[in-house]
Structure 1
Amino acid sequence: MKNELYLETYTPKEKFEKSFLLKVSLESLITYYVYKYCNPLNIKLYFVHTTDSDDKELLYLKADCIDFVEKKNIAWQVASCLFPVALFDDTVITGLCAVSRHICKYRSSAYSPHENDDGLLSFRKGCLQAPNEVSIWTKFCEVDLIKTVKELLGEVKLKEIPKSLIRFENHLNKPVKLHNMFKVARDLKKVTLKTNDYVEIVQSLNPSAEITQTHDGTKIPKQRKWKSNIKKQADIISSLNVEELGLEHQFAEGPFLTLADLVLLPSYYITVKKIGKDMFEALFPLSYKWFLKVSNLKEIVNLDLLLQTISALSLPLMKSLEIPKIEDVSLYKSDPKRHNPKKRLFTKPEDIEKALDSVQDGMELNLSILEFEEVVDWNKIPDGANPAAGHLPNERVIRKSQQLENLCQAVLVMAKEGDYIVDFCSGSGHLGILLAYLLPKCTIILLENKEQSLLRARDRVHNMGLTNVYFFQCNLDFFIGKFDIGIALHACGIASDLVLDKCLNANAKFVLCPCCYGSLHATDRLIYPRSSKFRNMTIDQYLCIGHTADQTHKEHPLTVRGERCMAIIDSDRARFAEEYGYKVTLSRLKPLSCTDKNNLLVGVPS
């Protein structure tokens, strides 16, 4: 079974053998650092020499004897992704955090006493598990901070303090958020109630209560699994406010060293060097305290050996820096005061009417009628590709089968032998696996950023014995491969637009059934409205229509208006594709009852 890690370098093998220095991107440097810390078993590391570059944001990495591989010799799956990339059997993993998590799973290095019982991946192995599309913490670690450091490396003079650095400083000033914080607080002897008093209380209730000993020698009662007066007393203790627990941010995610600290540390090492220790400590005292805490741990690999040239970087002139305005918000997903750039717009009737009045003749696309010659015979579809084989209610099985059949038939009409078909946001692979079975001479790629969903799809494919399916665990951004057809069933919100952009840039056909219109929002890459025909509409009017498009519930008086709003948003997407030379049809799934979000966009490049 393959288990390989690929990092990109801009230094040819011959030059490396003379200096043992590699010119790499920040992402490759961080990944190599995690690799060296974990010293994973059974993961073979390769550096891929791509091309020489003199970009200011590149760094020199001090490396041992390493293995090089030519770009032309790497597997097509690896070449289809941005580095770093891990190739695990028939699954490709890409993205800084996802690859770092994969490395941690095979670590051979001893656990640090500063880690919790689950190691670097922390409680229930969940550290940095959520993809950056849904987790502001993952996005901070692998997108926001990376962008900031690259800007620092390219800047000669800073004009203002980077916002991401302020955001992390604010994060360290917030109360610690943990799934099991009360247990952690008791174990660390951080609660205000003295442990000895707690022991006396328990023993007074039950003299035979079994007492155990913690790692620091403090005696606490062993937790029982049945209800009792002892349990009630423990509940009283656990009723303390979070602020009273005494848990502090010794590390990035709380009292324990996690993978997040390893991912963040190289970036902060560069940042401190670039800004200067005195200035950095004055601007970010909590961040500097965290930085010293982590970088001085004896388990941490000496970064000076990895970053040979950082100390020689020119320092920016920072006599007076502007402090940008930024919300004092948390990076914790569970915190109600978290950083949330995707706040939804809630609408009023008068706003909706005004928005709809801005839609002019010729903007909306006429709805086509789906007509297919063949239907899917579900009696002949094996269990792994058949919703009826799962544990869904009968009504749900019928509706799911109808959804799959609509998109599947649209793909069957346009697919040719040898095509590469990407099922974007594939989930557990219902659509892609069905197509793989029906199109055995096509290659199907299941692209999904959630590890558990992709593992379920992988198990079903292997049980079916299909050999034309490959698995990509990554965000849309990290996939850069060529393909012929892109499909997506209910890709939420902006994901449908990101899939559309992937298809347009690859000149690939597309079959899209969008979802979650109300969560549309402008991003660095997406501007709404999308097409020139809709540009007379303001962004507020557009988002108002998007929010109204989600009002398509059964037997609801606003359903008809909601369906029209869905058609308006999808017409804008269609018009945008037409500007790329595509012929686009907008139709609806049959029967309409199979899903409330039943629009279907089919595009073919001219």
Structure 2
Amino acid sequence: MKAIKKSLTEEEYLYLDFSHQTKGCIFPLHTSVTLFLLSYCDCKIFKICLVVTKEVSQWTRLCELTIPLAIENFLRDSSDQPPTIPIEILQLEKKLSEPVRVHNDDKLRRQKLKQQKADGVGPPLTKGKAKSKVHTQETSEELDSSFESLELKVAFSKLTVQEEPATTNREPSHIRKAKASDLPPLEHVFAEGLYFTLADIVLLPCIHHFLVIISRKFSEKLVEFPLLASWYQRIQEVPRVKTAASKCGIQFLHLPKLLTTSTEQHPNLSEVPDVEEQSDPLFIGGPRPTMAKLMEKGIEVMFSPHPCPTWTLDWNVLPAAVSPKEGKMSSDRALRKQQQLNNLVYVVTNQAKPGDRIVDFCSGGGHVGIVLAHMLPSCQVTLIENKELSLIRAKKRSDELGLSNIWFIQANMEYFTGMFNIGVALHACGVATDMVIEHCIKTRASFVTCPCCYGFIQNTSKFNFPKSEQFKKTLSYKEHMILCRFADQTAVQLPPQRRLIGKQCMCLVDMDRARAAEECGYSVQVISMEPESCSPKNNMIVGVPI
């Protein structure tokens, strides 16, 4: 890897130098590597960083896969006949019309109400006070014309470096007392909502090429995409986007202002399905009819016996860094985490052989992987986690222990392609458990998983539920969703009977997972972890290839 500076006026850039037999090649740095390197950069110009798009969602699939493919097919059509607009483009236009949801939604909507009232009865709020001081003339000039609404102020404040912290004043009484139903909605600034993310970067070349074709051949159709046109114009106001686009050969279109204010929409927009699949809210009755239906087919709640319910690690003699107490959690929670680890560690240590490779998927702060690496020094342990801070905490604990058989990979699990013998996952959320099991089956590795967040289980581009043939013949998708919904009702504060039903639903959902793995040549057990109080989500699915 090298840094190069062509002249005094040109900026430095990083590249990978690859020597081939015939000719040297220059490869651009992978995004994850670039972001990692930028995290160590003190230069404030690089404040313009990007939020990583969320995985395992229909929205991410739309941005990263289906829109690029749809635009590629659209560009291949050289016909002069009016084109069929890709449904993915219509989905994006519809998405941009939806209200924005952010964690401080109420606060921002009250600020917008205050701004609207100020604009209605007097001069607008002073724009100068709302603007942040930035460190480059280019950034300042590009932002001067951008602060036209509260949404834009909030959005661009994330892309600038403030000299001084902004002072916050309490809102007037009439603003504080306004009902939530009377607050104005927040409008989209960028693709994800208010903030500039990688989704905008991924979408930009696709939408640009789409608009180029439409403007050249079928310009009358441009008015059907006012929100897309507004987004396209707004992207150009982000500092350095124009410069970067120019280097990539993108020459932005100058769209008529009429387009961004048009109220016309595509005639089929109302019929376009939402980007995110909405679960059916009309669950009539409880899970008992579904459970009875399964019983009629001979499928009943059944746990395999725990192989050693009283076994426990001697946490008092283990180094402090092995304990979850080093993972920044309360003593009560750390005790429950130790109990959970007792269950997983017992199963894994009884399966592992010297030289085995063990992968801790969705590893978080490394509670599982660090214990396994310490207890199994002859095995290689790899932690897969997409959150950098979690891996930093895990590596710090690992360094304290002096572990030499542990590796850390910051990535989503589907990008891991290495061979391994045992896959583990403690409380992998929703379909993440299914992704872990699928990954293990493809590699013919054993798996030890503890599922979580059953209510988030839903059909995706990779998985359809129920999974096993036995459950498919008995239950519909909606009936499976009912089981998942009630499987999440196991919290300790719920009535005992309610928790019992939740536990039974958990078992049935996991039995479906187990049956599906058995159909792939595995011996699978659904075990209840001990003690039961270690977690409301205390199921453990253990699979071994036959």
Q: TM-score range by the shorter chain?
A: 0.7 to 0.9
1:290 matched to 2:231: yes
Match of 1:549 in 2: 487
1:281 to 222, 235, 251: 222
CA change 1:185–1:167 in 2 (3 A) is: same
CA contact (8 A) 2:451 2:537 kept: yes
Match of 1:55 in 2: none
CA contact (8 A) 2:360 2:423 kept: yes
After superposing the two structures, state which structure 1 stretch, 289-298 or 505-514, moved more: 289-298
CA change 1:68–1:519 in 2 (3 A) is: closer
CA change 1:365–1:583 in 2 (3 A) is: farther
CA change 1:153–1:577 in 2 (3 A) is: farther
User: Secondary structure, in 3 states, of the residue corresponding to 1:601?
Assistant: strand
CA contact (8 A) 1:176 1:249 kept: yes
Given residue 268 of structure 2, which amino acid in structure 1 is its aligned partner? I
Distance across 1 between alignment mates of 2:195 and 2:78: 36
CA change 1:517–1:427 in 2 (3 A) is: same
Deviation digits for residues 210-243 of structure 1, max 9, x if unmatched? x99976699xxx99969xxxx4566767889999
Deviation digits for residues 21-48 of structure 1, max 9, x if unmatched? xxxxxxxxxxxxxxxxx9776x543679
1:539 matched to 2:477: yes
**TM-score normalized by the length of structure 2:** 0.72
CA change 1:431–1:213 in 2 (3 A) is: closer
1:563 to 503, 519, 526: 503
What aligned pairs does 1:473-552 form with structure 2 within 5 A after superposition?
Answer: 473-536=410-473, 537-552=475-490
CA contact (8 A) 2:311 2:342 kept: no
Alpha-carbon shift at residue 430 of structure 1 (Å): 0.6
1:352 matched to 2:280: no
CA change 1:579–1:396 in 2 (3 A) is: same
1:408 matched to 2:349: no
User: Secondary structure, in 3 states, of the residue corresponding to 2:316?
Assistant: helix
Match of 2:119 in 1: 192
Answer 1 or 2: which has greater helix percent.
Answer: 2
Given residue 204 of structure 2, which amino acid in structure 1 is its aligned partner? L
CA change 1:516–1:251 in 2 (3 A) is: closer
After superposing the two structures, state which structure 1 stretch, 159-168 or 397-406, moved more: 159-168
Distance across 1 between alignment mates of 2:165 and 2:237: 35
CA change 1:85–1:483 in 2 (3 A) is: farther
1:459 matched to 2:396: yes
User: Secondary structure, in 3 states, of the residue corresponding to 2:497?
Assistant: coil
2:303 to 360, 367, 372: 367
CA contact (8 A) 1:145 1:164 kept: yes
Alpha-carbon shift at residue 161 of structure 1 (Å): 2.8
Alpha-carbon shift at residue 349 of structure 1 (Å): 3.5
CA contact (8 A) 1:342 1:519 kept: no
Deviation digits for residues 57-103 of structure 1, max 9, x if unmatched? xxxxxxx984369xxxxxxxxxxxxx95645xxxxxxxxxxx6x446
User: Secondary structure, in 3 states, of the residue corresponding to 1:561?
Assistant: helix
1:442 matched to 2:379: yes
Distance across 2 between alignment mates of 1:513 and 1:342: 26
Alpha-carbon shift at residue 582 of structure 1 (Å): 1.0
Match of 1:343 in 2: 279
User: Secondary structure, in 3 states, of the residue corresponding to 1:343?
Assistant: coil
CA contact (8 A) 2:59 2:276 kept: no
1:45 to 16, 34, 47: 16
User: Secondary structure, in 3 states, of the residue corresponding to 2:119?
Assistant: coil
Distance across 2 between alignment mates of 1:175 and 1:464: 49
Deviation digits for residues 523-575 of structure 1, max 9, x if unmatched? 12111111112221222222222222223344521333332222222111111
1:581 matched to 2:521: yes
Alpha-carbon shift at residue 406 of structure 1 (Å): 0.3
Given residue 531 of structure 2, which amino acid in structure 1 is its aligned partner? P
CA contact (8 A) 1:160 1:322 kept: no
User: Secondary structure, in 3 states, of the residue corresponding to 1:585?
Assistant: strand
User: Secondary structure, in 3 states, of the residue corresponding to 1:557?
Assistant: helix
Distance across 2 between alignment mates of 1:389 and 1:424: 20
Match of 1:128 in 2: 51
CA contact (8 A) 1:191 1:244 kept: no
CA change 1:559–1:48 in 2 (3 A) is: farther
CA contact (8 A) 1:448 1:475 kept: yes
Distance across 1 between alignment mates of 2:89 and 2:19: 32
Match of 2:140 in 1: none
User: Secondary structure, in 3 states, of the residue corresponding to 2:279?
Assistant: coil
User: Unaligned regions of 5+ residues in structure 1, if any?
Assistant: 5-37, 50-63, 70-82, 88-98, 112-117, 122-126, 200-210, 309-320, 330-338
Match of 2:322 in 1: 385
1:265 matched to 2:187: no
RMSD: 4.7
Match of 2:64 in 1: 142
What aligned pairs does 1:217-366 form with structure 2 within 5 A after superposition?
Answer: 231-232=169-170, 252=191, 260-273=199-212, 275-277=214-216, 278-279=218-219, 281-292=222-233, 294=235, 299=240, 300-301=242-243, 303=245, 306=248, 323=268, 325-326=270-271, 340-343=276-279, 347-349=283-285, 352-364=288-300, 366=302
CA contact (8 A) 1:513 1:600 kept: yes
Deviation digits for residues 358-388 of structure 1, max 9, x if unmatched? 3445545853222249641212322222023
Match of 1:166 in 2: 90
Given residue 458 of structure 1, which amino acid in structure 2 is its aligned partner? K
1:604 matched to 2:544: yes
Distance across 2 between alignment mates of 1:432 and 1:109: 35
CA contact (8 A) 1:120 1:257 kept: no
Distance across 1 between alignment mates of 2:463 and 2:75: 27
Alpha-carbon shift at residue 129 of structure 1 (Å): 3.7
Distance across 2 between alignment mates of 1:430 and 1:514: 16
Distance across 2 between alignment mates of 1:557 and 1:578: 31
Q: Name the count of aligned residue pairs.
A: 483
What aligned pairs does 1:6-17 form with structure 2 within 5 A after superposition?
Answer: none
CA contact (8 A) 2:301 2:504 kept: no
CA change 1:295–1:389 in 2 (3 A) is: closer
Alpha-carbon shift at residue 174 of structure 1 (Å): 5.0
1:67 to 23, 26, 37: 26
User: Secondary structure, in 3 states, of the residue corresponding to 1:406?
Assistant: helix
Given residue 596 of structure 1, which amino acid in structure 2 is its aligned partner? P
Distance across 2 between alignment mates of 1:539 and 1:458: 41
Deviation digits for residues 490-515 of structure 1, max 9, x if unmatched? 11221111111111111111011112
User: Secondary structure, in 3 states, of the residue corresponding to 1:534?
Assistant: helix
Alpha-carbon shift at residue 487 of structure 1 (Å): 0.8
Given residue 602 of structure 1, which amino acid in structure 2 is its aligned partner? V
Given residue 371 of structure 1, which amino acid in structure 2 is its aligned partner? P
Match of 1:428 in 2: 365
CA change 1:518–1:247 in 2 (3 A) is: closer
CA contact (8 A) 2:2 2:17 kept: no
User: Secondary structure, in 3 states, of the residue corresponding to 2:523?
Assistant: strand
User: Secondary structure, in 3 states, of the residue corresponding to 1:513?
Assistant: strand
CA contact (8 A) 2:359 2:423 kept: yes
User: Secondary structure, in 3 states, of the residue corresponding to 2:16?
Assistant: strand
CA contact (8 A) 1:578 1:584 kept: yes
